[in-house]
Structure 1
Amino acid sequence: MENTETGSFLRNRRLESFLDKNSGPNVKKTLKISSKEVARQRPTTDAFVDDDGWISTLISCVRLVTCFLTMMVTTTIWTIIILLLLPWPSQRIRQGNICGHVTGRLMMWILGNPIKIEGKEFSNERAIYISNHASLIDVFLVIWLTPTGTVGIAKKEIIWYPLFGQLYVLAKHLRIDRSNPSAAIQSMKEAVQAVIKHNLSLIIFPEGTRSKNGRLLPFKKGFVHLALQSGLPIVPMVLTGTHRAWRKGSLHVRPAPISVKYLPPIRTDNWTDDRVDDYIKMVHDIYVENLPELQKPVVSEDTKNSSRS
């Protein structure tokens, strides 16, 4: 009887030893690896999901209607103010800027896109502010984030934009007839005269139009001529994500994250008229370096080969 109990005891000890051996560090290591794999496969909660469902569309419609009504209120208030300031052009510009700051900030708050702003230390320079352009949201951002005392330059058709276009003209901002080169040049000269006379800054989209897919377009020469005539530094504003938030030709605003990055001012007081194309390429290259891959311009094989040779 004692032998039987002793044998049973020894067998149980061997079994416990075996189980302890196999449930040690190796099993813990396996569990750790599994947890890492699970974490890696788990979707992140802050990732933007492009949702075209009816709920997302309904929310977008409500936000757009709210934006329009808000713009009606702010535009009406500042139209009255600006009409009272008709004899004082510089004050009209500044009041237009204040209206832009209020309206632009309200629009972005209503639309609800997460916004990250970098380089704020360069946002109060007296300068020529330039920005890439891929969405109507870009307009809200630049009127909100450019300093008071900034005159805008836009295409002449902006006057037909409901509410915003009419206030734009009343606030003494400038329009360009892109179909008429001589008229466009004259508008640029007027802009420089206003800037010098009233100590103003400028804001312009150097691409001249909105990009359809968010990718950077070639730059026009206008901003370089403005810099040559005024001697003001150029402050690039790099906008990312706006093309995903509100696509060209769409009325569906999505909650895509947006980034605004001010780059250090580029001195232009030593620029010369014979290097206009070089300056355009230099500034365009700065944007290419600072934009994410999906917003960089598509480089053709011919361009690649020519740059290598």
Structure 2
Amino acid sequence: MQLRPVGYPVLLMRKFFGYILSPIFYLLFGVIITVFHPIQWLCLKLGGYQAHKKCVDTLNCCLVACYYVLGNTVSFINKQQLPTDRPILFVANHQSMYDIPPLIFFLRKYHGKFISKIELAKGIPSISFNLRHGGAANIDRKDPKQSIAEILKLANNMKAKNWSAFIFPEGTRAKTGKVKPFNVGGIAVILKKATNVLVVPVAINHSWEMVRYGFFPLNTFTRMSWEVLTPIEPQGLSAEEVVAQTEARIKEKIVLN
């Protein structure tokens, strides 16, 4: 792990601007998800899956653009030649809710679906609609049978429709950026069911800094990055070995303050 010290006066300045810019960010973010909610419904009803997906891709492009209102920047690095003729399981560390829009937008050609908490599938304009109707696995952490059934359903769709999936195996957000131990469960289910899946680690850096102070103020002038790492071919490896390799590769790329 590398260290990148940040001076206290700089932190204070960024927090100060957060008080000024966060209301603008939340206003724009709220307008975008509200406007896109009925558009998603129309696209799904009139154009089916493909139209709905294009709408969701555009939605997440707009959400990523909101980050720049705070002076934050997004660097998405993908030097890998990933196949489009087989499903991919993108495995990433999880630092904040703002990890998600860049993954959806920049990896849009792989038709990635999220394994998400069932609580997020209701009450949030646009986002909940997409989780309910876009092919995500919405799992109830208090109900293991339901969770496994949802992940199996997603794995079947990955195999049948050549969809990909995103999973955060830490299970919860790392509030300081330090990677928590990876859980094997969900990955093991997908590896067993979608036998032709390719596992691709993604290292996310500094998105936790955007929510350093919680909901308000959001932090400013943060250089966030997403990096797609070398794929792991799971054939011949146990789920535990795949998860261990994925976790190790991601940890090598994480930069802590």
Instruction: Letter of the 1:144 partner, please give it.
Output: F
Alpha-carbon distance in structure 2 between the residues aligned to 1:105 and 1:123: 21
| Structure having greater relative contact order (Cα 8 Å, sep ≥ 6) | 2
Is 2:217 the counterpart of 1:256? no
The structure carrying a bigger helix percent of its residues is 1
The structure carrying a bigger strand percent of its residues is 2
Normalised to the residue count of structure 2, the TM-score between the two structures is: 0.83
Equivalent residue for 2:65, pick from 109, 132, 142: 109
Alpha-carbon distance in structure 2 between the residues aligned to 1:79 and 1:234: 32
Is 2:179 the counterpart of 1:179? no
1:237 corresponds to which residue?
202
Alpha-carbon distance in structure 1 between the residues aligned to 2:101 and 2:15: 23
1:267 corresponds to which residue?
233
Is 2:21 the counterpart of 1:59? yes
Alpha-carbon distance in structure 2 between the residues aligned to 1:247 and 1:234: 30
Alpha-carbon distance in structure 1 between the residues aligned to 2:235 and 2:205: 29
2:35 corresponds to which residue?
73
Alpha-carbon distance in structure 2 between the residues aligned to 1:106 and 1:136: 15
Larger radius of gyration: 1
Alpha-carbon distance in structure 1 between the residues aligned to 2:56 and 2:212: 22
1:285: Cα distance to partner? 1.2
1:133 corresponds to which residue?
94
Instruction: Letter of the 2:101 partner, please give it.
Output: F
Q: Secondary structure at the residue paired with 2:114? A: strand
1:197: Cα distance to partner? 1.4
| Runs of 5+ unmatched residues, structure 2 | 1-5
Instruction: Letter of the 1:101 partner, please give it.
Output: D
Which stretch shows the higher mean deviation, 191-200 or 112-121? 112-121
Q: Secondary structure at the residue paired with 1:51? A: helix
Is 2:105 the counterpart of 1:144? yes
* Equivalences, count: 240
Q: Aligned residues: percent identity?
A: 18
Q: Secondary structure at the residue paired with 1:238? A: strand
Query: CA distance change for structure 1 residues 278 and 264 in 2, over 3 Å: closer, same or farther?
Result: closer
Instruction: Please tell me the root mean square deviation across aligned C-alpha atoms, in Å.
Output: 2.5
Query: CA distance change for structure 1 residues 96 and 255 in 2, over 3 Å: closer, same or farther?
Result: farther
Is 2:50 the counterpart of 1:84? no
> Are the equivalent residues in 2 in contact too, given 1:104–1:140 (CA < 8 A)?
yes
Query: CA distance change for structure 1 residues 247 and 160 in 2, over 3 Å: closer, same or farther?
Result: farther
2:131 corresponds to which residue?
168
Alpha-carbon distance in structure 1 between the residues aligned to 2:183 and 2:231: 19
Alpha-carbon distance in structure 2 between the residues aligned to 1:52 and 1:101: 31
> Are the equivalent residues in 2 in contact too, given 1:57–1:252 (CA < 8 A)?
yes
> Are the equivalent residues in 2 in contact too, given 1:134–1:248 (CA < 8 A)?
no
Alpha-carbon distance in structure 1 between the residues aligned to 2:52 and 2:180: 29
Query: CA distance change for structure 1 residues 61 and 141 in 2, over 3 Å: closer, same or farther?
Result: same
| Runs of 5+ unmatched residues, structure 1 | 1-42, 86-90, 295-309
Alpha-carbon distance in structure 1 between the residues aligned to 2:56 and 2:82: 15
Runs of 4 or more above 3 Å deviation: 47-50, 94-97, 120-126
1:217 corresponds to which residue?
180
Q: Secondary structure at the residue paired with 1:58? A: helix
1:132: Cα distance to partner? 1.1
Alpha-carbon distance in structure 1 between the residues aligned to 2:12 and 2:194: 45
Instruction: Letter of the 1:118 partner, please give it.
Output: I
* 1:183-204 CA distance string (max 9 Å, x none): 2111121111111111211111
> Are the equivalent residues in 2 in contact too, given 1:130–1:205 (CA < 8 A)?
yes
* 1:104-149 CA distance string (max 9 Å, x none): 2212212212222222444664411121111111012222122332
